């Protein structure tokens, strides 16, 4: 039983867009998009807007890999970017995310993040079983 790629996604977010939303909407914006563990990590960084932009991009990329976009089938908080001790980002799915993964016959979603002072970017790969 092998694994196959069921979907891919990519996204790019300007860090100043995140900074502007933080300044304009504050915690209302942050709490709508991010889970507390994501905020705890990002807000401790020298340029939190860039770390948040990469995670925002990851959530968009994951929604593209699923082929749903953000909305009724998959919400912002149904996805969490977790950082392993090695520094590797790992996607955790919650609620609708878990259901969607099962419905797509997926087994996991791989993500990769990057950022500069100007942009945050991410890719996502939805992995499934060959037998599905």
Catalytic: 115? Answer: yes
Q: CA dist 47 to 22, 41, 53, 119, Å?
A: 13, 11, 10, 11
Q: Contact, 64 vs 9, CB < 8 A?
A: yes
What tokens does 130 get?
A: 């060959």
Among the listed residues 51, 59, 104, 115, the single catalytic one is 115
The catalytically annotated residue of 51, 59, 64, 104 is 64
Residues involved in catalysis: 64, 115
């Amino acid at each position: 039983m092998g694994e196959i790629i069921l979907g891919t996604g990519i996204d790019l977010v300007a860090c100043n867009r995140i900074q502007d939303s933080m300044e304009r909407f504050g915690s209302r914006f942050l709490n709508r998009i991010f889970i507390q563990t994501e905020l705890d990590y990002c807000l401790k960084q020298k340029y939190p807007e860039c770390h948040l932009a990469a995670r925002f991009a990851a959530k968009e990329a994951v929604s593209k890999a699923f082929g749903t976009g953000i909305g009724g089938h998959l919400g912002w908080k149904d996805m969490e970017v977790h950082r392993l001790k090695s520094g590797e980002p790992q996607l955790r799915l919650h609620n609708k995310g878990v259901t969607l993964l099962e419905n797509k016959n997926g087994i996991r979603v791989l993500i990769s993040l990057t950022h500069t002072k100007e942009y945050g970017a991410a890719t996502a790969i939805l992995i499934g079983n060959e037998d599905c």
